[in-house]
Structure 1
Amino acid sequence: MDDRPQGRDRLRELLDAVLDEENRTLADMAGDAYSSPYHFSRRLRRDAGEPPVAMRRRVELERAAWQLRQGRRVTEVAFAAGYESVEGFSRAFARTYGEPPSAVAAGGPRDHWLPAPNGIHFHPPTSLWVDATEAAGTPTGDPVTEQLLQHDLDDTRALLELAKGLPEETLHLAVLPGHRVLEWDGEEPSVAAVLESQVFSKEVWLASIEGLDTPARGDGDVLWLVERHDAVAPRWLAVVRDIDRRGAWGDRLVDALCEPPESFVLGEVVAHVLTYASHRRQLARLMLRMLGVPVDDGDPITWSRTRRSLR
């Protein structure tokens, strides 16, 4: 029987017990929560949809991924995560993230969050983030929006990887001379130009939303484009999820980067970015085929099935 004071957030107390640094075992967690291991585990499964030991292991791995991206040594991170050996940690990490810890330390996954049934994630430096919309089943309230966002970012990354293997002259060859996607974006006659606009469109809209200066355009250098994409992708995802979380689709943005300043509805901005991002991805594929470069069709169904099979 729980004889702790009434009126408190019992689930939060149980979560605190799961994630307390001192509680390494189920018995430790349950004892800290003034509960038996059986009832402790049963309550967490019911209310958070995840066994306590599995939750702790996932959050520890999320923290480890974030720490590795900050330049921490694998050995240090492994023991901080509660593993008895670096080898055991490395196996668990590679099995979960699909790459060894050393790859993450060199620039690994963009997002340290792992799939969670309850929206509970590690939030740096030592906190948790409880994503209420993810707890409902998807990081945004609408699974279609989430799929469009994730597919766009992953598909753009795949095209950039393909572009990295092409000769410079192929990348910059004017396959469609004079071609423009949007009048104000200038000509996009080559694979390099299309991919540059694909990345820049998110950079410039984020600058407007976040109140930053106008970002500089690149020269189509594909390695720099990859770096820019990897930097802007998690920011863009976080901003759109935040708009959805706050129900702010109808909010207006006065974009001072425009001459003269112009007002935009946030829902329209996201729709604009996703529409032209999809167009540019297929335009890049068209150009690549015209150049004799094999490329897939970019079908979101194929992407989604592959993604599910890797989980």
Structure 2
Amino acid sequence: MDGQQGRDRLRELLDAVLDEDNRTLADMAGDAYASPYHFSRRLRRDAGEPPVAMRRRVELERAAWRLRRGTSVTDAAFAAGYESVEGFSRAFARAYGEPPSAVGEGAGGSRDHWLPAPNGIHFHPPTSLWIDAGEAGGTTSGPAGDPVTEQLVRHDLDDTRTLLEVAKGLAADDLRREVLPGARVLAWDGEEPSLAAVLENHVHATEVWLAAIEGLDTPARGDGDPRALLERHDAVAPRWLAFVRDVDRRGAWGDRLVDALCEPPESFVLGEVVAHVLTYAAHRRQLARLVLRALGVPVDDGDPITWNRDRTRSTR
């Protein structure tokens, strides 16, 4: 998730709006090396919302999310930058139609803390923004219930599990033998010369993207042990499939996620995230087969046609 080049408007908005040190328009403009007048004018033009109003709304959304996770009204108020609980309570009640004390812990869905926005920019836990394409005036792509996307994702998950089962039967020396010295799939993942390295990065990539989407901390890497990878894969696979199905059902392929955990913050379109994962997943699965064959382990071609035919026959 580190390969984006340059900066875009969404990243600049994120930097200015969510930086904890930027409590005023002057602070935001200073970080952007602009005068308050030009900074405010640019954001009004590009995002349809004054920067201070945007920050106030996003902070209220973050406060609502925190309240649903059990944070006290007092802590939520000061975390949102309010000087008094009373001022926060009035602003919250105007925005949500109920006082913050009425927000129950655990209540609400994943987007129920969002307030109406002219630009589709919303708080996404724990420190990110989400840009809803519908609200932002963009377009979505891909029909709901797209069978090709479903098949690609399910094949990837099933095929990954098959490869991990095969890897379980190998000796530790074979798992870590450098069959592909110097091989790199993505620069930020480092070298992947062994089967253990390829499979570790393959499973970890889905874990990282799902963590960004769900608002979780970056998951730790493992050592490529196939048994541990199987457990991790079985934990992440149903969540990843559910995410893709939800995006497809809503036709939300054009929605954006702005991840503040990246350095610098980066914005991602959901459709391109899924395409990215599927592209490099397929590449790594074939690399794993290449290594297995070099180790003398017989393995199939991983063809989705064969997979689908076998799956169809087994359900008859």
* TM-score bracket relative to the smaller structure: 0.5 to 0.7
Matched with 1:175 is 179
Q: Which amino acid aligns with 1:163?
A: A
How far residue 204 of structure 1 moved from its aligned partner, in angstroms, is 0.1
2:204 maps to what in 1? 200
Extract unaligned runs of 5+ from structure 1. Answer: 1-138
Q: 2:233 aligns with which of 225, 229, 232?
A: 229
Distance in 2 (alpha carbons) for counterparts of 1:140 and 1:158: 29
Give the structure, 1 or 2, with the largest relative contact order (CA under 8 Å, sep 6 or more).
2
Counterparts of 1:167 and 1:216 in 2: how far apart (Å)? Answer: 24
Q: Deviation above 4 Å: which 4+ runs of structure 1?
A: none
**Structure 2 alignment gaps of length 5 or more:** 1-142
| Residues 157-200 of structure 1: per-residue CA shift (max 9 Å, x gap) | 00000000011100111111111100011111111111111100
> Does residue 1:147 correspond to 2:125, yes or no?
no
Is the 8 Å Cα contact of residues 179 and 194 (structure 2) preserved in structure 1?
yes
Cα deviation per residue 1:115-146 (whole Å; 9 max; x = unaligned)?
xxxxxxxxxxxxxxxxxxxxxxxx96111111
AA of the residue aligned to 2:260: A
Task: Confirm or deny that 1:297 pairs with 2:301.
Answer: yes
Match of 1:269 in 2: 273
Q: Distance in 2 between matches of 1:223 and 1:268?
A: 30
Match of 1:241 in 2: 245
1:154-169 to structure 2, matched below 5 A, reads 154-169=158-173
Q: Deviations 1:70-100 (Å, cap 9, x if unpaired)?
A: xxxxxxxxxxxxxxxxxxxxxxxxxxxxxxx
Correspondences of 1:243-258 after superposition (within 5 Å):
243-258=247-262
Identity of aligned residues (%): 79
TM-score (norm 1): 0.55
SS at match of 2:267: strand
Distance in 1, Cα, partners of 2:221 & 2:260: 18
C-alpha deviations, 1:39-81, integer Å up to 9, x for none?
Answer: xxxxxxxxxxxxxxxxxxxxxxxxxxxxxxxxxxxxxxxxxxx
Q: Distance in 2 between matches of 1:177 and 1:140?
A: 43
Alignment match of 1:217 (pick from 207, 221, 232): 221
Q: Quick check: 1:164–1:223 contact (8 Å CA) kept in 2?
A: yes
Q: Is the 8 A contact 1:178 1:189 kept in 2?
A: yes
Residue 263 of structure 1 aligns to which amino acid in structure 2?
S
Q: TM-score, normalised by structure 2?
A: 0.54
Is structure 2 residue 283 aligned with structure 1 residue 288? no
Q: What CA distance in whole angstroms lies between the structure 1 residues aligned with 2:235 and 2:151?
A: 20
How far apart, CA to CA, are the structure 2 residues paired with 1:270 and 1:256?
19
For residues 186 and 196 of structure 2, the distance between their equivalents in structure 1, rounded to whole angstroms, comes to: 16
RMSD over aligned CA atoms reads: 1.2
Match of 1:191 in 2: 195
Distance across 2 between alignment mates of 1:267 and 1:294: 35
Secondary structure of the corresponding residue to residue 214 of structure 1: coil
